[in-house]
Amino acid sequence: KNKKADALGKIASTSFAHLSKQVLVEVLDSKSITEKEVTAVIEEEGPTWMTELVNYLKEGTLPADEKEARKIRLKARQYELMEGILYKRSFLTPWLRCAGPLQAEYVIKEIHKGLCSMHAGPRSVVAKAIRLGYFWPTMHRDAHDMIRKCNDCQGINIAGPFLEGPGKVKFLIVAMDYFTKWIEAKALATITRGQVKKFVWDNIVCRFGILGEIILDNVIPAEIGMPTYCTTAVDAVNNDEEL
């Protein structure tokens, strides 16, 4: 139990007379590592919103149209080209690395449902992207459109059974719109087709109107009087065997 204390005591009583009391300092004339580490490369295909800015800052090239050329000159004041990478200038925060459409899509996906897994709204996703050092002009619109397509951010979930509460309720049916963070929930004693139908009608249709479509896990069959969409995994080998 006292091994660490004994070791410290021995070190304190040990003589270091044979060691030099000089502090040796080595000065490196060049970097130990000269090559840059690249973890992931996303190449944009074709021209992007950055192309004209990069051409102007790199080679001074402007469009033939005078109005467009003037816009590029004015806009270029907000950007800087460093080692072939375009950055957006800022006086109060670090410069933001400009992202093309493919990289922007990757950033939004990673923040929303990737390693970060926030599943937050557009404002939070955009704020997180800026804090990570990225920028593109259509950040809010792209985040808005992509989050609306996320199936995990909308739908109906059935949870339980839990400990029985008043009225012998032990199940919970929840409809949550992660896009607006609005929740509709109801405690039930049993989960039946009629209960699900009544919940959707009373809490969703009567309050918000008829839905264009509804996405839910295929847990129990439910007839709710509106189109439902079912999906299945496609396996070419198994499909051929079944045929």
- pLDDT tens-digit profile of 118-164? 677 788 889 999 998 999 999 999 988 888 777 776 667 777 788 88
Domain assignment present for residue 43? The answer is: no
| Structure-model confidence comparison of residues 19 and 86, the more confident one | 86
How far apart CA 218 and CA 24 sit, in angstroms, is 70
| Structure-model confidence comparison of residues 115 and 168, the more confident one | 168
Per the rule left: phi > 0, alpha: psi between -120 and 50, beta: everything else, 84 is left
Query: Residue 222's pLDDT is what?
Result: 46
The secondary element (H helix, E strand) that includes residue 146 is: helix 139-148
Using the 3D structure, point to which of 100, 123, 151 is the last residue of a domain.
151
How far apart CA 156 and CA 183 sit, in angstroms, is 10
Q: What is the pTM of this model?
A: 0.53
Same-domain check for residues 240 and 189: yes
Query: Residue 224's pLDDT is what?
Result: 46
**Range of 134's domain?**
51-151
- Whether residue 226 is predicted with pLDDT greater than 60 in this model: the reply is no
Query: pLDDT grade, residue 233 (50/70/90)?
Result: low
Same-domain check for residues 185 and 126: no
Same-domain check for residues 138 and 216: no
Same-domain check for residues 67 and 142: yes
Same-domain check for residues 175 and 241: yes
Same-domain check for residues 209 and 233: yes
Using the 3D structure, point to which of 97, 130, 151 is the last residue of a domain.
151
Query: Residue 139's pLDDT is what?
Result: 92
Domain assignment present for residue 78? The answer is: yes
First to last CA, the chain: 70
